[in-house]
């Protein structure tokens, strides 16, 4: 069997990429350049891909699905949030600033958390049955630190986090070229990093593998984790009689 015959076809899956760079379009985003690697792999496997650069949109801060109902005149999140809810996969990208994710990244995580009161048709939290991962770039240490917080947040609200769920690149500490910048010889900074290339590839495929497995299984099993069932008195064999 050839490699092409072995390659999965994930036509029917959909993914949303949210880049939380602080750089507005059309200026270059180094985080977007690395996210392109993951996007291209997914498109090559048949996945429908939609991308947003959060700073380009008037997304209000807050922890409600629509902040125009809570004092803001404008909020672009409801439309973006719908795209996220409709997708099987979410990829969240951020630069590193002062060793942490960007302020835009925190805002997007908070807006995702705003949906924590919503449930799917099984009574589970709304992001159950979907996969998520993280892409990080910067000029200082912190890729794994940033991924740790991002992936915990995404798992906490219901996303399934697959193996090898993050990819990143950092240059030397201090000012200097960033991922994708052109060198004097015409080559691109970071493109020669096998570690980054490998992790971005594994991230893309593991997100797709996990999403397809969940779709084929009809989502995540609901026994023991349905908020609706719990609220209706089904306590799933909890050992404390008070909760039976």
Tell me: the pLDDT tens digits for 66-87? 999 999 999 999 999 999 999 9
Helix axes 194-216, 30-44, angle to 10 degrees: 50
Quickly state the pLDDT bin for 244 (edges 50, 70, 90): low
Work out the average pLDDT over 41-59. Answer: 98
The share of the chain scoring above pLDDT 70, in percent, equals 98
Encode pLDDT of 185-220 as tens digits.
989 989 999 999 999 999 999 999 999 999 999 999
Ordered alpha helix ranges (H), the chain: 3-6, 30-44, 77-86, 103-113, 143-156, 194-216, 227-231
Contact (CB, 8 A) for 73 and 118: no
Pick among 1.10.10.520, 3.40.50.360, 3.30.499.10, 3.40.630.40: CATH of 10-243: 3.40.50.360
Report the predicted TM-score, pTM, of the whole model to 2 decimal places: 0.95
Contact (CB, 8 A) for 127 and 115: yes
φ, ψ of residue 170 to 5 degrees: the values are -135, 145
């760079």: which residue's tokens? 21
Rounded CA-CA distance 95/109 in Å is 14
Ordered alpha helix ranges (H), 45-188: 77-86, 103-113, 143-156
């Amino acid at each position: 069997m050839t490699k092409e015959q072995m390659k999965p076809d994930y036509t029917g899956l959909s993914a949303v990429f949210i880049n939380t760079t602080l750089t507005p379009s059309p200026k270059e985003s180094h985080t977007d350049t690395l996210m392109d690697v993951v996007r291209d792999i997914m498109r090559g496997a048949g996945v429908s891909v939609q991308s947003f650069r959060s700073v380009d949109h008037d997304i209000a801060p807050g922890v409600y699905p629509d902040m125009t109902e809570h004092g803001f005149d404008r909020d672009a999140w409801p439309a973006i949030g719908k795209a996220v809810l409709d997708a099987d996969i979410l990829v969240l990208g951020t630069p590193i600033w002062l060793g942490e994710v960007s302020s835009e990244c925190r805002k997007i995580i908070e807006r995702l958390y705003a949906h924590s009161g919503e449930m799917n048709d099984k009574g589970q939290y709304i992001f159950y049955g979907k996969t998520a991962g993280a892409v990080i770039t910067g000029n200082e240490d912190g890729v794994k630190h940033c991924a740790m917080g991002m992936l915990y947040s995404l798992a906490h609200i219901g996303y399934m986090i697959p193996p090898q769920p993050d990819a990143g690149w950092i240059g030397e500490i201090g000012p200097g070229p960033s991922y994708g910048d052109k060198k004097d010889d015409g080559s691109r900074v970071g493109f020669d990093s096998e570690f980054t290339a490998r992790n971005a590839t594994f991230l893309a495929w593991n997100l797709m593998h996990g999403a397809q497995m969940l779709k084929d299984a009809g989502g995540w099993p609901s026994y023991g984790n349905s908020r609706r069932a719990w609220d209706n008195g089904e306590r799933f064999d909890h050992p404390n009689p008070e909760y039976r």
